[in-house]
Amino acid sequence: MRYVFNYRKAMREPKQVQQLTKEYSLPVAFQLIHVINFFLFFFIVLGLGLLIRMGFPHAFGKSFLVFLIGIPIGLTVLVTKIKPEGKNLYLYFLDVARYYLQIKLPKKRFCQDHEVQWMDEPQTFKPCVKVVQSHYEYVKNTDEDATEELTIDENGRRVGVLSSQESIHSHAK
């Protein structure tokens, strides 16, 4: 008998930190990304706190420990919960910076995923033609032309005629 195992769930399990040294391990495992975020925010808040205390020595009197631990924990939870466009917050900011530096600043223009070089020239379009005719009255188009004849474009195609109607010579005027 053949067994099929699906390891997808096990491989997508986030990395966790529990064993710190050979002799010491934590009672609860923490996700590695949470630990990295906490220490990153801890050092940022520590640096800001020291800058503030240099200017105001009595700032954060007895609340400096709460300031050092509470704000990094809150920021870690906030960064973990926020997922713009379903992405990690860091990857989202990396993509925004890449877009801004590679596309927005050089003012690149794209059409159907290809870079277009000639977008500065003005674009001209053909005038509107009557393409739909209802059973009882004509549907007016944007240029309000009141002609009641079949429209043939410059390529010789009939515009606004159903295929069930009688055929017409494509070069007829």
Greatest mean pLDDT among 2-16, 30-44, 53-67, 128-142 lies in 30-44
Range(s) of the domain holding residue 131: 125-163
Tell me the average pLDDT across 59-83: 88
- 169 pLDDT exceeds 90? no
Give the pair of three-digit tokens for residue 96.
Answer: 């925004």
Region 106-118: mean pLDDT is: 81
Place of tokens 């200017």: 55
In this prediction, residue 64 has a pLDDT band, given cuts at 50, 70 and 90, of confident
Q: Is residue 49 part of a domain?
A: yes
User: 4 lies in a domain?
Assistant: no
77: nearest Cα among 119, 30, 37, 129? 37
- Alpha-carbon distance of 25 to 18, in angstroms, equals 6
Say whether both 95 and 54 belong to one domain. Answer: no
pLDDT of residue 72: 94
DSSP 8-state code for residue 151: E
Model confidence band, residue 130 (pLDDT cutoffs 50, 70, 90): low
Q: Domain tally for the chain?
A: 3
Whether 90 is in a domain gets the answer yes
Residue 1 lies in a domain: no
Q: Return the pLDDT at 86.
A: 87
User: Residue 92 pLDDT more than 80?
Assistant: yes
Average pLDDT over residues 80-97: 91
Per-residue pLDDT tens digits for 4-47: 888 888 888 888 989 888 999 989 999 999 999 999 999 999 99
Give the list of residues 6+ apart from residue 91 with CB closer than 8 angstroms, or none: none
Residue 9 lies in a domain: no
Radius of gyration in angstroms for the set of CA atoms belonging to the chain, rounded to a whole number? 34
